[in-house]
Amino acid sequence: MSMESPMSTSSPLTLYGETFTSRLLLGTSRYPSPSVLLAAVERAQPAMLTASLRRQTGAGGEASQSFWNLLREAKVPVLPNTAGCHSLQEAITTAEMAREVFNTDWIKLELIGDDYTLQPDTLNLPEAASRLIKAGFKVLPYCTEDLVLCQRLVDVGCQAVMPWAAPIGTGKGPVNPSALRTLRERLSVPLIVDAGLGLPSHACQVMEWGYDAVLLNTAVALAQEPVVMAGAFADAVQAGHNAFLAGAMQAQDTAQPSTPVLGTPFWHHA
Amino acid sequence: MPEPATIQVLINQAPHDLPANATLADALQRVGIAPPFAAAVNLQFVPKTQYACHVLHPNDQIELIAPITGG
């Protein structure tokens, strides 16, 4: 006899009409070695791998070629980013260059407004997203958890948005749970928590809230055992999503015995 | 007044002298970059189909970028 599990009724992650079997997007930076990165990818089976572009001439070309070969070997869709861009034109030009190099319309839009916190330039992000969408890109914008900002990004055509949990690389986990939960309640587009996750429990938590996916890098890359941690995150993301589908009980202020009270032996004998 | 025989451009911030009327394809040949890469001139993307016809001007700033790891 078989029973239908919640997983079998779960629809796959759908972004811009494309479906993905995994709800984990994985970054490719800061791993101890390319072979560890590749093993982490094989363990996590992510939906997408993020990549970037940097000036390259001379000796740096070998590292770039090596990474290029690794991406081809991994056989995972690539999500290029515009990391480090501070102006609208920089982001747009970098996206256009990424489209040609990686042969993809996907772009993780990063428009940095503050170098210390790496907080996105929230005032110019919607305009950048709008122009890229009009140019045919599938834009996944890295943004804050601000509801109005995220709504504006949806208004200009973003079919998913990616609020941070905490500043990039901090591993703090969700620093503003209330705002993230409000965002989930108010927006119906796919939401991907991007940046600031440090533990699988952080990823599980946001998935329990109904987030559609997570994007992370440093938490895996800087773990003592990145491959093991990649698996832990993949499992946590799936567990959190299953829990969301299952529907959690309401928390209670008072204790409720789980074992029936009726027929308790020696009741009132004393 | 005759045009100068050479122009100076910046390729990834490094100065290079090229013949007047050199194209972006000439600049790429000068630095010997191998695919995969993409190019921009003065912050404007130049598709690879236009390298041979994109004529450079003095002080043009050329950016050549290639894939690296990213988060």
Mean pLDDT, range A160-164, rounded to an integer = 98
**pLDDT over 50 at B60, yes or no:** yes
Q: Given A29, A57, A102, which is nearest B69 (Cβ)?
A: A29
Could A68 and B36 be called an inter-chain contact, meaning their C-beta atoms sit closer than 8 Å? yes
**Contact A109/A127 with Cβ under 8 angstroms?**
no
Query: What is the reported pLDDT for A266?
Result: 87
Note whether B15 contacts A: Cβ–Cβ < 8 A.
no
Query: SS3 of B70, please?
Result: coil
- Which domains can be identified in chain A, with CATH numbers? 12-55+65-245 (3.20.20.70)
**Contact A51/A28 with Cβ under 8 angstroms?**
yes
Query: What is the reported pLDDT for A6?
Result: 46
Return the sign of the alpha-carbon dihedral for residues A113, A116, A119, A122: negative
Query: What is the reported pLDDT for A155?
Result: 98
Q: With bands split at pLDDT 50, 70 and 90, how would you rate the model's confidence at A4? A: very low
Test mutation, B33, B45, B64, B69, chain A, max A CBs within 10 A: B69
Query: What is the reported pLDDT for A13?
Result: 96
Chain B residue nearest residue A31, CA to CA: B69
Mean pLDDT, range A239-267, rounded to an integer = 92
Tell me how far apart the alpha carbons of residues B64 and B58 are, in angstroms, rounded to a whole number: 18
Told to judge if A134 belongs to the known catalytic residues of this protein, a careful annotator would answer: no
Token pair for A149: 């900002």
Chain B CB contacts of A169 below 8 Å: 71
Mean pLDDT, range A239-254, rounded to an integer = 95
Note whether B12 contacts A: Cβ–Cβ < 8 A.
yes
Smallest CA–CA distance, residue B26 to chain A, in Å, is 15
Mean pLDDT, range B24-47, rounded to an integer = 95
Test mutation, A35, A38, A55, chain B, max B CBs within 10 A: A55
Q: What is the pLDDT of residues B8-28, one digit of tens each?
A: 999 999 999 999 999 999 999
Test mutation, B11, B41, B62, B68, chain A, max A CBs within 10 A: B68
Token pair for B28: 């790429």
* Whole-number percent of chain A with pLDDT over 70: 94
Other beta carbons within 10 Å of A91: 28
Q: With bands split at pLDDT 50, 70 and 90, how would you rate the model's confidence at A58? A: low
Could A54 and B12 be called an inter-chain contact, meaning their C-beta atoms sit closer than 8 Å? no
Mean pLDDT, range A43-69, rounded to an integer = 88
Beta A162-163 vs A138-143: how paired, if at all?
parallel
Q: With bands split at pLDDT 50, 70 and 90, how would you rate the model's confidence at A100? A: very high
Q: With bands split at pLDDT 50, 70 and 90, how would you rate the model's confidence at A11? A: confident
Q: With bands split at pLDDT 50, 70 and 90, how would you rate the model's confidence at A56? A: confident
Smallest CA–CA distance, residue B5 to chain A, in Å, is 26
Q: With bands split at pLDDT 50, 70 and 90, how would you rate the model's confidence at A270? A: low
Token pair for A257: 């015995």
Note whether B1 contacts A: Cβ–Cβ < 8 A.
no
- ipTM for the predicted complex comes to 0.94
H-helix or E-strand spanning residue B30 = helix B24-31
- Which domains can be identified in chain B, with CATH numbers? 6-65 (3.10.20.30)
Tell me how far apart the alpha carbons of residues A82 and A54 are, in angstroms, rounded to a whole number: 10
Could B69 and A52 be called an inter-chain contact, meaning their C-beta atoms sit closer than 8 Å? yes
Report DSSP state, residue B5: S
